[in-house]
Amino acid sequence: MNRRNFMIAAAAVVAVPMLASRLRARESVAVAEGSGGKFALSDAEWRDKLSALQYRILREEGTERAWTSDLLKEKREGTYHCVGCDQALFTSETKYDSRTGWPSFFDVIDGAVGTRRDFKLVLPRTEYHCSRCGGHHGHVFNDGPKPTGLRYCNNGAVLRFAPTAD
């Protein structure tokens, strides 16, 4: 191998892995920023980010006291976001007054929550949580209004309302 060919071969040995790692870096950024990407924090980071009440609800499946949420009175157009990761969970078009003391919705934004049966009470209930950060939000019951017949009973303390800009 002459000197020129050696230099070309050496450059290729260096350049190919660099290119590959640059591609990998771009992929991981896409996962972190994309709407379908998971959002994960350490327990210390969650405690830092959330109030004590929000932590108890999102991370320990706690429940706020009925009639304590300011969002019960919220009637403007907009979206309701998870305070854990800011994913939009509900739109104002699906909000209704369930008279239960918790903000209630008859539908959820597609893909925004996952559900699981829970047996904390004697009767099984369906727990639901944010599909992005896994934070617990409330329970879904089948005594809601048409067209779904569902009632997503959500803790207001873990929702952030974003009014539609007019």
Q: Is 82 a catalytic residue?
A: no
Nearest one of 98, 102, 94, 107 to 159, comparing CA atoms: 102
Among 50, 57, 82, 108, contact with Zn ion (rule: CB under 5 A): 82
Among candidate residues 130, 66, 74, the one with its CA nearest the CA of residue 100: 66
Extract the tokens encoding 142.
Answer: 């089948």
Considering the rule CB under 5 A, would residue 130 count as an interface residue with Zn ion?
Answer: yes
Q: How far is the CB of 58 from Zn ion (least distance, A)?
A: 8
Q: Is 132 in the site for Zn ion (CB under 5 A)?
A: yes
Q: Which of 82, 85, 130, 153 is catalytic?
A: 153
What's the min distance (Å) between Cβ of 84 and Zn ion?
4
Alpha-carbon distances of 145 from 104, 106, 138, 159, rounded to whole Å = 11, 7, 18, 22
Amino acid at 121: L
Site string for Zn ion, 31-70 (x = CB under 5 A): ----------------------------------------
Q: Which stretch binds Zn ion (CB under 5 A): 16-24, 30-38, 45-53, 80-88?
A: 80-88
- Residue 108 binds to Zn ion (criterion: CB under 5 A): no
Contacts of 162 (CB under 8 A, 6+ apart): 78, 79, 80, 81, 88
Query: Buried b vs exposed e over 19-32: b needs ≥16 C-beta within 10 Å?
Result: eeeeeeeeeeeeee
Q: How far apart are CA 129 and CA 113, in angstroms?
A: 5
Check binding of 113 to Zn ion (CB under 5 A).
no
- Indicate whether 135 belongs to the interface with Zn ion (CB under 5 A): yes
Please tell me whether residue 133 binds Zn ion under the rule CB under 5 A.
yes
The minimum distance between CB 162 and Zn ion, in angstroms, equals 14
Q: Which residues are catalytic?
A: 153
Binding site for Zn ion (CB under 5 A): 82, 84-85, 87, 130, 132-133, 135
